[in-house]
Structure formats: structure tokens, C-alpha cells
Amino acid sequence: MFTDQAHAQTQALWDASKRHPFITQLQAGTLPAATFRYYLIQDHHYLHEFGKLHDLAADQSHDPRVVNQLRAGAASLRDGEIAVRQTFFDRLNITPAEVAAVTAAPTCYAYISHIYRALLTAGPAGAVAGLLPCYWLYAEIGQALAGTGSPVPIYQSWIDTYNADDYTGAMHDQLALANYVATPANTDALLAIFKKSSWYELQFWQMALDQEDWSITDANAASAFSRH
């Protein structure tokens, strides 16, 4: 099955996500509030594009099963994930003006762009493969963290989001859809797309720890010089 192959090939990347300092600090309660705030605002941009990508992929498919599931995914994302985030924003006093003033950071931008490219080059099946690690990895992380939880209430709420039954239900639907759209002809391309999304999931945590932005620092200016 496609999902068995995908899981086997991304084990090391997923393990690195599960052990990433962002996750271990979130669980221990030592993650700085500013880091979590930054993550939520970047994730807001990500989720907005994530929902749009479901609709764009549905627009390109002629298969009713694919169309219906992607449209349902876009709708439940609007009602679920994005709505949940609003309560987080309220609790942390993140205002719409603040969100609007921040653009997607390089890693967030690259991750989103990767999924757009997957849709362009491999069609709706490519988008499904590119979107899948997002559903699946977060379910695994939610499950792993649920055992001990976090002493910080808002971090515990974040964990609860991904360990909820309705959430794991959506994840299983997405796994089934990926296996449905995978064929012998497109499997290699879909695996490559899935792996890159898994890589970007790992980088997304690091982006938050670094509070990455588009400014030119001495470090990236120097490395740009040494390359050219």
C-alpha cells in the first residue's frame, strides 16, 4: 500500500520531528510563549493555503470520490482547525492586524509552494500526497504527547486538538484517499512529494524556534557570498 511505503520511507524524518526541541519544550512546558505565538501566526498562513489547496485540487479532479473528500476537507478545515486557532489567538491576544502584518516566512512559504508545485506537476493525486504528512504526522505527535501532556494549559489544548477522535477520523479518511489515488505509474512521484512535505514539517518547527524571517543577516549574507 502507498501509505505503508510512505511511512517506512519517512521514519527518520518523522522521528526527528517528534524529538524536535519545539515539541519536547512544548511538552515540558518550557517553550517560550513568543515561539508559540510565532508558530501560530505562521501556521495561520499555512492553514489558509492548505484549505485553498484542497479546493484547487478538487477543481482539477473528475473523480467524485476525490472531489467530495477534498471539498469536505476544505470545509471542515474552515470550521475546525482554523476555528480552534481563533480561540488560541484570543487567549494570546493575537489580533487580526498583527496576523495581517506578518507574511509567510521562507520555510512556510517554501512548504506551501511545494504543495502547489505537487498539484501542478502530479495533479490532484500529487496534492493529496503533499497534504498527507500534515494530517498524519500531527496525529502521531498528538498521540505521543497525550500520555504525559503539558503543564502549560494552552500547550495542552494544542495537544488535545490533535488527539481528538474527529481529528483522527479525518486523518484515516486522508490515508484512504491517498491509497485510492496512488497507482503504479504515479507512486514514485507521490512518494517524493510525501517525503518533501515530511522534510518541511520538520523545518517548520525549526523555523519557529529561529523566528525565521526574510531579513538579511550576517550569516546568510556571508553564505550567499561564499556560494557565488
Ligand X SMILES: Cc1ncc(C[n+]2csc(CCO)c2C)c(N)n1
Q: Which residues are catalytic?
A: 134, 201
170 binds ligand X (CB under 6 A): yes
Contact residue for ligand X among 134, 152, 181, 182 (CB under 6 A) = 134
Give the interface segment with ligand X, choosing from 41-49, 144-152, 176-184, 185-193 (CB under 6 A): 41-49
Instruction: Report in angstroms how near the CB of residue 123 gets to ligand X at its nearest.
Output: 21
47 binds ligand X (CB under 6 A): yes
Contact residue for ligand X among 77, 104, 122, 141 (CB under 6 A) = 77
Give the interface segment with ligand X, choosing from 9-17, 73-81, 178-186, 206-214 (CB under 6 A): 73-81
194 binds ligand X (CB under 6 A): no
Query: HSE on the CB side for 84, CA within 13 Å?
Result: 17
Cα gap 72→200, rounded to integer Å: 25
Q: Which residues lie near ligand X (CB under 6 A)?
A: 43, 46-47, 50, 77, 80-81, 134-135, 138, 167, 170, 201, 204
